[in-house]
Amino acid sequence: MEMIDLRSDTVTKPTPEMRAAMAAAEVGDDVYGDDPTVNRLQEVAAELTGKQAGLFVASGTMGNLAAVLAHCQRGDEVIVGNLSHTFLYEAGGISVLGGVHSCQLPNQPDGTLDLEQVREAIREDDPHEPVTRLICLENTQNRCGGVVLSPAYTRQVADFAHARGLSVHLDGARLFNAAAALGVPAVELTAPVDSVTFCLSKGLCAPVGSVLCGSKEFITKAQRMRKMLGGGMRQAGILAAAGLVALEKMTGRLAEDHRRARDLAQGLAALPGFHVDPPATNMVFVRMDETVRVSPEALFARVGEAGVLATGGRTFRLVCHYWIDDAAVERTVQAFRTALQA
């Protein structure tokens, strides 16, 4: 039985076209800047985000960490959302490895940071306090339901920050999902910010990697940080080749994942005790009320026996991606229906 894996879009496997491109990739030593496929990937990524340069990194976490280290000195402070990936899921790297202090502000339900709260969080020029240096945003905002930040909001934050001498970094792990949901080119979401990361290994199906983009000066600093973090790869064109296919072929089909997420949400919302908000992108968040007597552990074990991989608690997330088709959506709804009746 073929398993339907809805745990995340990180579970995507490379497409046959990616595997062929990887096998045929022209390579060189990327630490010397000699890998033509990596260089091409970085150029394409910079063009798509409206930046001067790009840097291929092993993961989104590495990209975000390298970005913060390039923007900030030890003892500086970065303003982040309390539901942001950088704060919650990156092992405290900015503090442990960078000595960078974080000021966590509450993410609003729409994923934004309240600008008045940001204003109040900016430090005075006082030797007792860390120096506010950077604001980090996330688009799409995972923990807020995969919601999308608008170009207007991003521009507002960037204008606010730049007027006060601050920089803005965008964790755009699922940047192209945000662009697809809004029906705009990615550059409209990235043009105002100083740096941006996006992942190739989530909904875009590449097996490894993210790209960090910014000015040439910034990327020069970030490249040093990548080396310091052990991210200097050699014949990495084998990996970058899959990333190029991802950008050329996969970004244009993400709306299909969003449509299937809506179909999945609609089907699950009809089940007793399930409450589902309409998904903004490819993520479906389900809350089970007290009428559901099945424990989460038993529920996920039962749907697993039916060939559906899912995990969580009484509130859980299901993520649609390239390897989830219409039949998989129907099978998933039926598996949950049967599990609730067992």
C-alpha 42/C-alpha 54 separation (Å) is 4
Average pLDDT, rounded, for the chain: 97
How far is it, in rounded angstroms, from Cα 296 to Cα 299? Answer: 5
How many angstroms separate the CA atoms of 249 and 143, rounded?
Answer: 27
Are residues 284 and 276 in contact, defined by beta-carbon separation less than 8 angstroms?
yes
pLDDT at 31: 95
% of the chain beyond a pLDDT of 70: 99
Rounded to an integer, what distance in angstroms lies between the CA atom of residue 107 and that of residue 105?
6
Measured between alpha carbons, how far is 180 from 127 in angstroms, rounded to an integer? 45
pLDDT classification of 76: cutoffs 50, 70, 90: very high
Give the pLDDT score at 33.
95
For the chain, domains (ranges, CATH) are 4-10+253-341 (3.90.1150.10), 13-251 (3.40.640.10)
Average pLDDT of 124-149? 96
pLDDT in tens, 137-168: 999 999 999 999 999 999 999 999 999 999 99
pLDDT single digits (tens) 165-176: 999 999 999 999
Give the pLDDT score at 205.
97
- Per-residue pLDDT tens digits for 237-254: 999 999 999 999 999 999
pTM of the model: 0.96
